[in-house]
Amino acid sequence: MCANQSLETVPLDPGKRRLLGWLVGIINVVVAGTILGPVLGFIGSPIVRKSTGQWVPILDDHELPEGKTREVSFTFKMKDGYLDTERKYTVYLRRFPDRVVAFDPACTHLGCRIKFQDDKLRYFCPCHGGVFDDQGRVVAGPPPEGLKTHPTKIENGKIYVLKMV
């Protein structure tokens, strides 16, 4: 064939065109699924995954008299990626006449660690002057809301705190 000669193009029949269109479409869907599948799985996993809690026994019931607050540290096991680890955590337990409340020790302003003063029945944040009453409500300072609490229960003479893992 010479360089000057033109090549004749043979038109594809409609059946072959349709088949090629379907093949290109299927290839595009496979490529898009390969890329989008993991991305959507990553984005949607917090919605699908249910957070589970672990009831952790932290104190004998008789060790917390009514009207008293006590700082209690405890450890619990959790799965961190592929490792099983032990985490240490602290709560302030307060016994009321009808219930026991576990207050999170982090100030709701910036997360600084609060301290309880028994003589004043107040939780104080040393960072920015946040003050909470013995019910965990904001009394003074910049915290936007009261102290966070963890669910508690009393069973078989033990006080349990539900720790989300």
* pLDDT of 4 above 60: no
* Amino acid 83: pLDDT: 81
E-strand stretches of 21-109: 53-60, 69-80, 83-95, 100-103
Tell me the whole-structure pTM to 2 decimals.
0.66
Q: How far, CA to CA in Å, does 12 sit from each of 16, 17, 39, 90?
A: 6, 6, 39, 75
Q: Which of 16-20, 99-103, 129-133, 139-143 has the lowest mean pLDDT?
A: 16-20
pLDDT greater than 80 at residue 149: yes
Mean pLDDT of the chain: 85
Q: Binning pLDDT at 50, 70 and 90, where does residue 38 land?
A: confident
* Residues facing 79 on adjacent strands: 84
pLDDT band at 51 (very low <50, low <70, confident <90, very high): low
pLDDT digits (tens, 9 = 90+) for 73-105: 988 777 777 788 888 889 999 999 989 999 999
